[in-house]
Each structure stands twice: as C-alpha cells, then as structure tokens.
Amino acid sequence: MCGLKSKVQSINSYIKKTKIFRRIIDLIRNSFLPVIIVIYFLLFHYANNVSIVSFSRSFNIFLIFLGIALLISFIFYFIFRGDFKRASIGASIFLIFFLTYGLFYDWLSKINIILIKHYSLLPLILSLGLCLSFLINYLNQKTIKNLYKALIIIFPVLIGYNLVRIIPAEISKAELNKMNDQITISDHRNTEGKISFPDIYYIILDEAAGFDVARNYFDYDQVDTFVEFLDEKGFYVAENSQATYPSTLYQLSSIFNYEPLPYPSDTPDYFLAISDNKVVRYLREKGYQIVVLNEMRSQLGYPTMPKMNADLSLSIEGNQENTNMIFNNEFVRMLGKQTMLRPLFDQMEAATLIYENHANTIYFAMEKIGNISEVSSPKFVYFHLLIPHVPFMFNHLGFVNDQNDFYDWNYYLDNYRFSLRVAESMIRSIFSASDPDKPPIIILQSDHGARNIPSTDPYHHPLEDYPEEYASHIINAIYLPHCDEKLMSQDMNPINTFSIIFNCLFDEEISIR
C-alpha cells in the first residue's frame, strides 16, 4: 500500500509539474503576438528616423515597451483563463489602442471641434480599447484561429519590410563612423608665415529668414537696425542671397566643399561631406587650428552626425548619453508621445534636459566665441546654432517662452529677433578679442530661411499665406577686410563663400559657381 501511495503521489507531482510547464509555454505563446506588434511599432518609427537616430541611445525605451507588451499579455492570459489565442488577440487589440493614443489626441486637437484634455480622452480610449478586446469572447473558435494565423503572418512581414529599410542604413552609419574614426589630425601643418593669416569665424543661424522676408512678410522693419550694425562694422551684406535648396545638410556639405553636391542624397553621404570637408583640410594645410561648436549634433538635430575633424570640439551636453535620463532623447520622446504614456511625457517635457542644453548652448556660445584661448591663432571657428530654428524657446529678450509655444510658428519672429541679438553679441565679442592690426574674417549666414514646416504638435500653428519660395531666402553677410567687394554680389550664392575667401586671402583660383 505504501508503494502504491508513493507512486500515486509521484504521478500527481508529475502531472502538477506538467501543468505548470504547459502554463508557462502557453504564457510564452500568448505573449508572442503582442511582442511582435510592439516590435513592429518600434521598428516602423525607427526606420522612419534611422539616419538621425542612434539605436544605442534608444535601446532602453525598446526594453520598456517590450516589458509593457509582456505585462499586458500576462494580464489578458489570466482574464481569458488560459485560452492563449483568444487572450493573445485581445491583448493585441488593447496594445494597438495603447500604442496609438497619441495619434487620436493629436488628430482631435488639430480638428479642434471640442476641447481635448488627457483626463477626459485617456479614460475614453482606455475603455474603448478594453471593450473591443473583450468582444473577442463572442467570436467562435474557428474565427479566432483564422484571425490569429493572419496576424501571425502579417506583422512578421511588416517587421521584415522595416528591417530591409533599417539594415542598409545601419551599415552605412557604421561605415561612416569607421571612416570618421580613421580621419586623423595632421601633425604636418605648414607653419611658414602662418602668423600673418587672420582668424576665420563662421557663424550659422539655423533657419534664419533673409532680411527681405523679415521686412516683407513679418513687417519687422527694425531688422534694418541690425543691417546698419553690420554695415558699420564693414560687412558686405548680400541682401538677395538664396540657398540652392532649403536643406541644412545639402547646403553645409556644398558650402564646406565649395561645389554643389547631388540633391537629394543619402544622409550619411552629407554627414561625411561635412565631417571631412575640403575647407577644413585646406585650412589645416595652411596651419590653422579648428574649433567647432555644432549644435546640429545635439538631440534637437542629428545625434548620429559624426564630429567634424577639429582640434577643439565644444559642447554643453557632455556625456548625456551615459546618464540614466533615458527620456532626454528626441526619438524616445516621440515614441512615448504616440502612446498612452503621452500625459507622462507631456509633463516631463517642461523640465527636459534637451531644452535646458539648448538654452545653455546659446548662452555659452555668446560667451565663448571671443574667448577661445585653448588654441592658438590662426584658427577657424565654426559655430552652428539651432536658432531661430524650432523649438521657438526664446522671446526677443532671451527669456524662455511657455512650453506649449515651442512649436507654434507665431513665436518664430520673437525667436528670430533674439537670434539677431545673439549674432550681434557674438560679432562684438569677436572684434573685442581681435587685434585691430590683424582683423578677423567673419561669415554670418543661415543655412536656409524659415520653412514653415508642419508639425503634429497639438499647439502648432503654421504661418498664414507664407510663400514657399521664402524658405530659400537667407542671411548672408561677410566681413572680409582688405579684399575687393567686387568679388561679392547682392545675390551671392553661399556655396561660393570659401572660394571667394580663399581666392582673396591665399591667391587661389577656385572657380565661382
């Protein structure tokens, strides 16, 4: 009897363990569909931004979303009492509502029929998602089986499609970074007579409209006060200068190589043309030290953009990517704002480090540009500031606007006015720090004009009746002492900037485009 009892207990124990094992297997199978839906969501958005997004900086948010998918799967598994296919479809329906809440919010805010607030919309979408998820209970088993099979086929195919878009771009980024790492600063500079060469300052105000646009569209006649300041300092102001295309990467890669590059082209090609460019290589041969502050590489621009080959790279961000602040990433914030986590991300935005760094960079640039003692002259100083580009953070005095106004084009003009104040401050600082007997060369340009780009931000308001051609009207002013103004013209193409300077300064014969 004892032996029989022992066998029965052993069998019961085996059955119990088998049931637990099957339950675990069912849990894993139940989570498969929700997980691949989340993977598709992540890869879809990553593929759309692959050229400007770093996977390593986004990896943590990927894990968080996968954890959310697993949690929702487990909850629905127990709600549907172990029917893994029914539970898996129900969890997937709810997850789709979870992942697209931000789209509903932005769409309803845009059509502006009723006042939209998270405290009213979120419970409604949450309830709707749950109700549709539970309707799965009313479908027969055959329908459930067919629906499950269809979803299991559709989403992996969509994932595969996005991987086809992502993998070549990732290979290109890896090759670009490898090439950039192999670029070394030459120790064989030509120092003969370099002491006579002037310092060269190149300042970019990103998305700054031409002075004619400031007058004619924005009715900002006070822009003439800034133009008069430039005239008094001896700048040649090319009032009719235009960008070839209103594209930052195209314009800068063409300017830095004094020839027009193909348009459009792949982002990595432009990155390489900027990071290892003819202008910097040429100036190195002449004995110049290179100083760069490039806000284009910040989280508001192109974080994957390689560093320019410089002797001194300035940045206010430091080692932000090594901190625990995973939400201070533009791509991560974009993902989060698509989902039911939107209220959390909206609350976090007001204090986000991205905007703090942007403001600090502007003030740092104003202070630093006339005080670069780390490198000797002659030096080439390239400062690229993301003003008056979005976010429209500043009013005309430099105070920070309300967070809701950062993507409202009605605040562009104030941001523009502040940008001109920044430019004037930087120019005065350069002159104050320079030897009057050896004046510097100063270039003040915008890469393109105000483009009035649409936004999904619910507080976004575009400029009304804004002519599309104004997107190419730029600021282009050059202080080039001891050079004949006949080299320049009112409709001067910015691609010729360094051709003109090098032809005058070094007696080169670079062709003018």
Domain membership of residue 182 (yes or no) is: no
Residue 194 has pLDDT above 90, yes or no: no
Residues counted in the chain: 513
pLDDT band for position 387 (cuts 50, 70, 90): very high
Tokens of 80: 């549907």
Tokens of 465: 């009746």
- Percentage of the residues of the chain whose pLDDT score is greater than 90: 45
CATH of the domain at 395: 3.40.720.10
CB 206 within 8 A of CB 384: yes
Domain membership of residue 188 (yes or no) is: no
Q: Do both 249 and 366 map to the same domain?
A: yes
Instruction: Choose between 181 and 510: higher pLDDT.
Output: 510
For the segment 36-40, the average pLDDT, to the nearest whole number, is 92
Residue 8 has pLDDT above 70, yes or no: no
Q: Do both 398 and 317 map to the same domain?
A: yes
CB 292 within 8 A of CB 312: yes
Q: Do both 414 and 369 map to the same domain?
A: yes
Residue 238 has pLDDT above 70, yes or no: yes
Residue 431 has pLDDT above 60, yes or no: yes
pLDDT for residue 320: 44
User: Which of these ranges, 37-51, 128-142, 186-200, has the smallest mean pLDDT?
Assistant: 186-200
pLDDT band for position 266 (cuts 50, 70, 90): confident
Q: Do both 139 and 218 map to the same domain?
A: no
Domain membership of residue 62 (yes or no) is: yes
Q: Do both 225 and 145 map to the same domain?
A: no
Domain boundary among 166, 187, 217: 166
For the segment 416-444, the average pLDDT, to the nearest whole number, is 95
User: Which of these ranges, 53-67, 352-366, 471-485, has the smallest mean pLDDT?
Assistant: 53-67
Alpha-carbon distances, residue 180 vs 277, 409, 472 (angstroms): 11, 36, 30
Instruction: Choose between 78 and 481: higher pLDDT.
Output: 481
pLDDT for residue 180: 62
CB 391 within 8 A of CB 300: yes
Q: Do both 500 and 425 map to the same domain?
A: yes
Q: Which one, of 59, 47, 305, lies nearest residue 166 by Cα? A: 47
Q: Do both 306 and 432 map to the same domain?
A: yes
- Percentage of the residues of the chain whose pLDDT score is greater than 70: 86
Domain boundary among 120, 144, 166: 166
- Hey, what amino acid is at 123? P
- Using CA atoms, how far apart are residues 121 and 161, in angstroms rounded to an integer? 33
pLDDT for residue 323: 39
Domain that holds residue 278: 199-325+354-505
Instruction: Choose between 9 and 200: higher pLDDT.
Output: 200
The pair phi, psi for residue 373, each rounded to 5°, is -90, -10
pLDDT band for position 3 (cuts 50, 70, 90): low
Instruction: Choose between 169 and 368: higher pLDDT.
Output: 368
pLDDT band for position 473 (cuts 50, 70, 90): very high
Q: What is the mean pLDDT of the chain?
A: 85
Q: What is the pLDDT of residues 334-385, one digit of tens each?
A: 888 889 888 877 766 545 778 888 999 999 999 999 999 899 999 999 999 9
Highest mean pLDDT among 93-102, 209-218, 400-409: 209-218
Domain membership of residue 181 (yes or no) is: no
Domain membership of residue 348 (yes or no) is: no
Q: Do both 258 and 133 map to the same domain?
A: no
- DSSP-derived letter for residue 209 is B
Per-residue H/E/C for 85-102: HHHHHHHHHHHHHHHHHH
Domain membership of residue 332 (yes or no) is: no
Domain membership of residue 344 (yes or no) is: no
Q: Do both 373 and 454 map to the same domain?
A: yes
Concatenating the DSSP letter of every residue in 20-72 gives HHHHHHHHHHHHHHHHHHHHHHHHHHHHHTTTT--HHHHHHHHHHHHHHHHHH
Domain membership of residue 334 (yes or no) is: no
Q: Which one, of 416, 388, 439, lies nearest residue 201 by Cα? A: 439
For the segment 473-483, the average pLDDT, to the nearest whole number, is 94
Q: Do both 150 and 260 map to the same domain?
A: no
3-class secondary structure, 382: strand
For the segment 498-509, the average pLDDT, to the nearest whole number, is 92
For the segment 378-401, the average pLDDT, to the nearest whole number, is 94
Q: Which one, of 310, 273, 271, lies nearest residue 292 by Cα? A: 310
Q: Do both 430 and 501 map to the same domain?
A: yes
Q: Where are the beta strands (DSSP E) in 166-241?
A: 200-205, 236-237
Tokens of 308: 């320019």
pLDDT for residue 424: 97
Residue 27 has pLDDT above 80, yes or no: no
Look at the chain and report how many structural domains it folds into: 2
Q: What is the pLDDT of residues 278-301, one digit of tens each?
A: 999 999 999 999 999 999 988 888
- Using CA atoms, how far apart are residues 360 and 368, in angstroms rounded to an integer? 12
pLDDT band for position 458 (cuts 50, 70, 90): low
pLDDT for residue 468: 94
Alpha-carbon distances, residue 264 vs 244, 260, 469 (angstroms): 12, 11, 18
Alpha-carbon distances, residue 489 vs 215, 258, 492 (angstroms): 21, 17, 5
Question: Rg of the chain's alpha carbons, rounded to an integer?
Answer: 29
Using CB atoms within 10 Å of the CB of residue 138, give its burial: 0 to 12 exposed, 13 to 18 middle, 19+ buried.
exposed
Q: Do both 159 and 203 map to the same domain?
A: no
Alpha-carbon distances, residue 267 vs 263, 303, 494 (angstroms): 11, 12, 21
